[in-house]
Chain A
Amino acid sequence: MDTTEAVYDGLKDAGIDFIVSVPCVNLTKLLNMIDDDPEITHIPVTREEEGIGICAGAYLGGKRPAILMQNSGFGNSINALKSLIELYEIPLLMIMSHRGTEGESIVGQVPMGESTPLILEAMDFKFFTPQTAEAAYDDIRLSWELSEEEGKPVSILLEIKYW
């Protein structure tokens, strides 16, 4: 199974039909597949926090939203994830390209990359770090229901070596 197709198939089988994004080079192929899918509304955003608000509005309107971003963008979104998504118990799937992990070539990605899982733990948000395409498909497919049950966002961290 191709690593990008596994993510795409997982999103489709989770029923995700509304996606906001800030790009990462590792998400290039996935973003193209989403743009080609007429069943998915895709809104590129200027900053990830804005995307969290858009996802909340889309859920209020009956959609199943997800955000695609780098883990750096998770850092840009923390207050909204707490005082909007968790406060109102709005389900949300967060697909993160987890930069600053093993194999990273950009030194600037390392500090936030190392802290990302610790921040998610501190926020009491569940996350998965699938190492194979099969694991990513299963984790993503099941994460929407988990997010509904939790009333909190659920994250999939896709490390550099995943791809």
Chain B
Amino acid sequence: MARYEAIYEIMEYIDDELVICNIGFPSRELYEINDREKNFYMIGSMGLASSIGLGLAMAKPYEDVVVIDGDGSLLMNMGSLVTVFANNPSNLTWIVIDNGAYGSTGNQDTYAQVVDLVDIARGVGFKNSHYFDDINLKEFIKSDDASFIVYRTESGNSNAPIIDIDPITIKERFMASF
């Protein structure tokens, strides 16, 4: 199983949550699986999914925010682990789909293959740092602390097409949805 199935399964747990989705194939696949106004699709700025999610969660403390990130993107913005932990927004759930590869650029290996992201987040201090298979996602979306969840999958992309709505529309319908 690869990222597409992981996103499909994650979305089974999503009701009214605001979803920030990583650039490239993750957003394309989410768009195909379950397009909704409460999805914000990143078209650029690789690495910043968790930062966008943090800003949104701090601005809207009564909305639940779920970030769908990737291992390569996390490695590009490791400082975000510290900033998210230090601010600890209880309404933020940061899911990293770890396929050990830069999927959107041709499945080159990432260093996530030689480190354990759950251990790293625990080392930073996250109380809620778990593998997806070990938990019920909804409990962690509703928990009193920020959560860091790693969903390990095989590498590989689907045939999901490029998103055919423009960035301004993505933004405007997202902002009007809550």
Contact = CB atoms under 8 A, between A and B. Distances in A.
A49 B80 CA distance: 10
A88 B168 contact: yes
B10 interface: no
B120 interface: no
Interface string A49-89: 11111111111111101000000000000011011100111
B43 A87 contact: yes
Nearest to A47: B79
Contact of B56 (A51, A58, A79): A58
Interface in B141-178: 167-168, 170-171, 174-175
B55 A57 contact: yes
B10 to A, nearest CB: 19
A45 interface: yes
A141 to B, nearest CB: 22
A142 to B, nearest CB: 23
B125 interface: no
Interface stretch (B25-33, B46-54, B130-138): B46-54
Contacts of B53: 57
A18 interface: yes
A59 B51 CA distance: 12
Contacts of A90: 171
Chain B binding surface SS class: helix
A30 interface: no
A45 B80 CA distance: 8
B44 A87 contact: yes
Interface of A: 18, 20, 41, 43-47, 49-63, 65, 79-80, 82-84, 87-90
Contact of A84 (B44, B56, B63, B168): B44
B114 interface: no
B83 interface: yes
A88 B59 contact: no
Nearest to B56: A57
A45 B86 CA distance: 10
Contact-residue size bin, chain B (C-beta under 8 Å from the other chain): 20 to 34
12 contacts: A20-B55, A43-B54, A56-B52, A57-B53, A57-B59, A58-B55, A58-B56, A63-B55, A83-B45, A84-B44, A84-B48, A88-B170
Looking at A45, A60, A63, the one whose CB has the most chain B CB atoms below 10 A away is A60
Given A57-B20, A60-B40, A83-B45, A65 B167 contact: no
B104 interface: no
A123 to B, nearest CB: 14
A49 B48 contact: yes
B87 interface: yes
Contacts of A84: 42, 44-45, 48, 52
A63 B52 contact: no
B127 interface: no
